[in-house]
Amino acid sequence: MRYLERAFPWILLSPVILPVVIWGGVIYPYLVPKTLLFYAISLVAVAAFLLLVAYGRAFFWARLARWESWVPAVLLALAYVASAFGLGFYQSFWSLFVRGDGLLMLTGAVASFYLILLSADVAFMRRLSHAVAIVGSFVAVYGIGEWLMGGGRIGGLLGNAAFFAGYLGLAFFATLLSAHELSGGWRKAAYAGATLQVVAILLSATRGTILALGVALVAWLGWLAFRRPAPAEVPAGEGRKGRRIAQIALTSVVILGGLFVAFRGELAHAPFEPVARIASISAQDTDVASRLFIWKNMIGQIERAPLLGVGAEHIDYLFNKFYDPTQIVEQWFDRSHNAFLDYAAQYGIGGLLLYIALIASFFVAARRLSKRGEGTGALLLSLLAITYAVQNFFVFDTISSFWLLLALLAVALATSGPGTAPEPLALGSWSRVAAWPAALVLVLLVIPCSIEPARAAYDLAHAYAYQLTDVPQEAAYLSSGFALGTYGNLEYGYEAYSIYTNQVTTLSGQALAEAYQAALVPLAADFERYPYDARTALYLVHVLSLAPPGTSVDQNLLSSAFERAISLSPKRSQPWYILANLSIAQANAYPAQSPERATGYAAAEDILRRYLALVPTLSEPHFVLAQLLYASGDQGGAATEAAKGKADYTSDLETARRAVVYYEDVMDLSDAEYFLAEVVRLDPSDTAAASDLAKIRAYEQSAR
């Protein structure tokens, strides 16, 4: 037991390495290994804690008497209650491969918070801040190297620019806390690491974190400019001088900010992407307008279930209900890109208030530190909370950032409260007998929580690898991974669909039939298990509509999938287009002038017009309808719809391609040239479009 006691603090500290954990052998190599390892660490840590408590190890139980220490526990309890009454507890608990953000992750993070709170001392605080400084600096250096190699927005070892910057936004302040505890060359090294982290954040061009650091900078300068330190802290003359310098710096920052706003139109075209992205923030910016639309409608959805929300990991259900292709850039969203709205949507208003209380707990700890004369620590904790709150108004957490937040909060609450000696719990001898089987069960839970999902993710990655070269092998990997019955099964359906849509244009015969069955099995199973998932319904519709020639299709299943896809996300175009295409395909089986073909085309036209009634300003369906009308012989109606499509057109690759097909069919070379130029601009790799564009321009030049 002595060895376990020595190892316990290091077990608690081990999640600090999560940001550098990647494994290319699984699907989503940047996030999946991190979450699976965190589940394993959490289970082992709780098992070790039970054994230590049973064997009389002393912990700081008195720390649980403070109200702020109960905020994470109440939030976790509310999350379970909301999810129990939500759309589907299974998905709420497990989440997806791509996110790993469900109740299991929240449970592990909260458990880690309490284990650190009950055991942390000053030495642990120093270890944590030093470890984060090292890991955060390494992550920053890796990201900077990635930028130097390829440019553009960088995701570093977290695979996504927002996740990368969000983690470093917290690591930066932990690194400053580390520097505060160091001296000499080590302090300089820590400050250098913090500087590298800020540089990496800027290079990531993540506007939320950059704005958050800007707000923190203004708050820091404001605090320096107007505070009145006690004479014992700083001599009166030096205090006035320091305030004067801070006031000048604050004024300079405000002036620079004003100039930036005044000239942001020109700066939006700057070659340096971080500057350009910040300057482009406006209600007219496509991304900003899309986010504002999502936030507005998410608030409307929250108002419909204000008490308990829809449960964890079901934000996509709300998103699909108000999805509008004329307003939203992204096809699929499982977050609102605002953590505050996410908590309210999942757990109701109580969840939002508890999340705010979680952040506010940093200020409680900072106030206590300030009263003890530890002004630097208090300031850094306050700035960390401000940065986190501002950046999470625009993004959301991964396990790397959320665990770090709770770990730092636990240490802050542990070290800022009144000093009390650790005490053992007075338990009988029965506790040792009960602790061992309980600990064994927790360790064995690593198998379903981490090992089996890792195997499933491994199989899925290999199915991708064999999708075109060895279809039987691809099907075997898909079947094997899906049969494990892990929480990744919903995502298996998504990925099976993606694989099959790649295969359907390149395979034929028996290979295509095998690929079809490999995709159909997980999608059909998920369709039955997750009746609230619009994405599964749509993907099932598409796969069934792409069945190989001669394959018998379950029409009842197809009809049910159509109905569910449209009811769960009525403004999404794909099911409407597929339905219209099926009518056209059936009509084309009859002679050109036959009544049956005319009836089929009329049915397709009706479907498209019903969809256009939902999205009248969406350009693409006008061109789809124009092609149908032209094929039906209604050239006037086709021209009218094409004119509407052109009037409503905004920069969009698929719409441009649809328009090209129509205008080339009717030999309208002028409009064809315009949309071909759009295709080439949006997809420079499209050599066929570039060739057609060159031919049209050459023809027009010769005609002159």
pLDDT digits (tens, 9 = 90+) for 483-521: 999 999 999 999 999 999 999 989 999 999 999 999 999
CATH class for the domain made up of 455-571: mainly alpha
pLDDT in tens, 147-203: 999 877 899 999 899 999 999 999 999 999 999 999 999 999 999 999 999 999 999
- What single letter denotes the amino acid at residue 1? M
The pLDDT of residue 283 is 73
Tokens of 194: 């913090």
Give the whole-angstrom CA distance, residue 353 versus residue 505: 51
The pLDDT of residue 229 is 63
**All residues at 6 or more sequence positions from 179 whose CB lies less than 8 Å from its CB, including other chains:** 133, 187, 190, 191, 194
Q: Using an 8 Å Cβ cutoff, are 38 and 108 in contact?
A: yes
> Would the pLDDT of 233 be above 80?
no
The pLDDT of residue 414 is 93
pLDDT in tens, 7-43: 999 999 999 999 999 998 999 999 999 999 999 999 9
Alpha helices in 151-160 (DSSP H): none
Q: Which of 390, 393, 385, 351 minimizes the C-alpha distance to 365?
A: 385
Please report which confidence band the pLDDT of residue 289 belongs to, taking 50, 70 and 90 as the band edges: confident
> Would the pLDDT of 230 be above 70?
no
The pLDDT of residue 401 is 96
**Helix (H/G/I), strand (E/B), else coil: 59:** strand
pLDDT in tens, 623-655: 999 999 998 889 999 999 999 999 999 888 999
Tokens of 17: 């390495």
CATH number for the domain whose boundaries are 617-704: 1.25.40.10
- Rounded to an integer, the average pLDDT of 84-112 is 94
DSSP string covering 242-305: HHHHHHHHHHHHHHHHHHHHHTHHHHTT-SSHHHHHHHT-STTSHHHHHHHHHHHHHHHHHHHS
Q: Using an 8 Å Cβ cutoff, are 129 and 190 in contact?
A: no
Give the whole-angstrom CA distance, residue 25 versus residue 499: 17
State the average pLDDT for the chain: 91
Give the whole-angstrom CA distance, residue 281 versus residue 287: 9
Q: Which of 535, 478, 423, 431 minimizes the C-alpha distance to 62?
A: 423
pTM score, whole prediction? 0.92
- What single letter denotes the amino acid at residue 16? V
Between 375-391 and 161-181, two packed helices, what is the crossing angle to 10 degrees? 180
Tokens of 181: 């505890």
Element (H, E) at 187: helix 184-204
The pLDDT of residue 98 is 86
Please report which confidence band the pLDDT of residue 277 belongs to, taking 50, 70 and 90 as the band edges: confident
> What is the dihedral angle through the alpha carbons of 440, 444, 449, 455, rounded to the nearest 10 degrees?
160
> Would the pLDDT of 384 be above 70?
yes
Give the whole-angstrom CA distance, residue 358 versus residue 72: 7
Domain ranges across the chain = 2-206+282-416, 455-571, 617-704
Domain pair 455-571 / 617-704, same fold: yes
The pLDDT of residue 606 is 94
Give the whole-angstrom CA distance, residue 238 versus residue 241: 5
- What single letter denotes the amino acid at residue 104? L
Q: Which of 352, 205, 330, 196 minimizes the C-alpha distance to 268?
A: 205
Across 267-271, 461-465, 586-590, which has the greatest mean pLDDT? 461-465
**Helix (H/G/I), strand (E/B), else coil: 423:** strand
Give the whole-angstrom CA distance, residue 512 versus residue 492: 19
Give the whole-angstrom CA distance, residue 615 versus residue 651: 17
Give the whole-angstrom CA distance, residue 285 versus residue 277: 10
Q: Using an 8 Å Cβ cutoff, are 4 and 443 in contact?
A: no
Give the whole-angstrom CA distance, residue 179 versus residue 472: 56
Q: Using an 8 Å Cβ cutoff, are 596 and 569 in contact?
A: no
> Would the pLDDT of 66 be above 60?
yes
